[in-house]
Amino acid sequence: MASLIQKYNVPGPRYTSYPTVPFWDDTTFSKKKWISSFQKSFKESNQTEGISLYIHLPFCESLCTFCACHKHITKRHDVEEIYIQSVLKEWELYLNLLDEKPIIKELHLGGGTPTFFSAENLHFLLNGIFKNAIKHPKAEFSFEGHPNNTTENHLQTLFDLGFRRVSFGVQDYDDKVQKAIHRVQPFENVEKVTHLARKIGFTSVSHDLIFGLPFQTKENVIETITKTITLQPDRISFYSYAHVPWIKGVGQRGFDEQDLPKDDEKRVLYEIGKELFSDLGYEEIGMDHFALKSDELYIATQNNTLHRNFMGYTANKTQLMIGLGMSAISDSWGAFAQNVKSVKEYQQLVFEGEIPVFRGHILSKEDAIIRKHILQMMCNFETSWEDEALKIDNLDFHLSLLKELEEDGLVIINENSLTIPQHARPFVRNICMAFDKKLHQVAKKENLFSKTI
């Protein structure tokens, strides 16, 4: 396995979408086309399955140096009110394009740090969202909480609004690692908010951990997971650290390349974690996720309803996902659209009455077919092209790219399907890359993606 990790640990997409963002075709995209696709998708799906909302709350009081998200660092909390007004204005712009109330099936508050905002301001924001919408009877509302600043008031306020799932960013409990990534938070803080969430009534509590961080060792990971398990989170995200220091604004500094665990060493950290999770009753879900059998994410895998989008893995699928806020991405299933990445520009555009989209991609028929295959592999570790509607042009070429992976026992290819064996799941991104036509059509560029394993 170690030699295979060295062989296949190459830069590659994480496939929260296909085509991936670097290969979106802006030449065929326009805001007018996005609005048309959005309206079409809404009419097709609102009454049957509802819509998803992602609200990006970008502010953080300090910069975590492992983070590659779009954020805005400030200690000034007077930015909250105007930003919330901007998000509600953007929501109003979308509502004005509709002829019926949206039915919200899924809503997620992401960041940044959503709990940077006061509980009162979050209440105001969400009341404004729900005022002209209908909550789906099986709605799932979730948010990301920082263990250092999530209060009982935050938890109770969001619970009263229908939120039942919360994820807390833990990353690692080792002092040296926390200092290097500028994310110092004692175990006691995580323990406190986890117990508070359960006491209030949250039915799914998730902890986010990262392997491959600077100065991280086997002992660090074992200690972090051992402490995590004592709190019995319903879900655990065990992400590979994505080292992308060339991307503007990520702030990945404060440590050197040599401080990071290398290929085989890094993968050992994952295998240790995976074994510990399995021993304690957690099931591996898709890529980088683990859940107890009582959790909806595990149940979705058993029902083959697991889905993956820009919010990650989810037990719900909706055709339409609207992203509100600076840098948020929307998905109509026929098109992607991303908002501008500056808070100032975002606020200016929405108050001028403009939907603040600045780039996107209109999916072709071929894009849609490849997207389905990649989703199947990322969620179910198998796919089939037996159905005529899922036939891929130039299939032999794509299968030829899997020849070495097949010879190495990492993929099983049949006449009309393929399966990724259990032991080969760490290589799922490499297998998806063989189907990624955009990746092979465009000249390879340096510094686009983090390593696959």
Task: Name the 3-class secondary structure at 348.
Answer: helix
What does residue 171 show for φ and ψ, rounded to 5 degrees?
A: 75, -70
d(CA 66, CA 171): 9
Give me the pLDDT at residue 1, please. Answer: 61
Whole-number Cα distances in Å, 415 to 12, 372, 395, 419: 27, 18, 11, 11
Q: Which helix H or strand E contains 209, and what residues bound it?
A: strand 204-211
Give the β-pairing of 321-324 and 51-57: parallel
Q: What residue type is 366 in one-letter code?
A: E
- What phi-psi label fits residue 173: left (phi over 0), alpha (psi between -120 and 50 degrees) or beta? alpha
| Tens-place pLDDT, residues 421-451 | 988 988 999 999 999 998 877 655 555 565 6
Give me the pLDDT at residue 442, please. Answer: 62
Tell me the average confidence (pLDDT) per consecutive run of 10 residues in the chain, 453 residues long.
72 87 93 98 97 96 80 91 98 97 97 96 98 96 96 98 96 94 93 98 96 93 95 94 62 70 83 92 91 94 90 89 97 97 97 98 96 94 91 90 94 95 90 90 57 60
53: tokens are: 């909302």
Model pTM above 0.85: yes
Give me the pLDDT at residue 196, please. Answer: 98
Task: Name the 3-class secondary structure at 118.
Answer: coil
| Tens-place pLDDT, residues 388-407 | 888 888 899 999 999 999 99
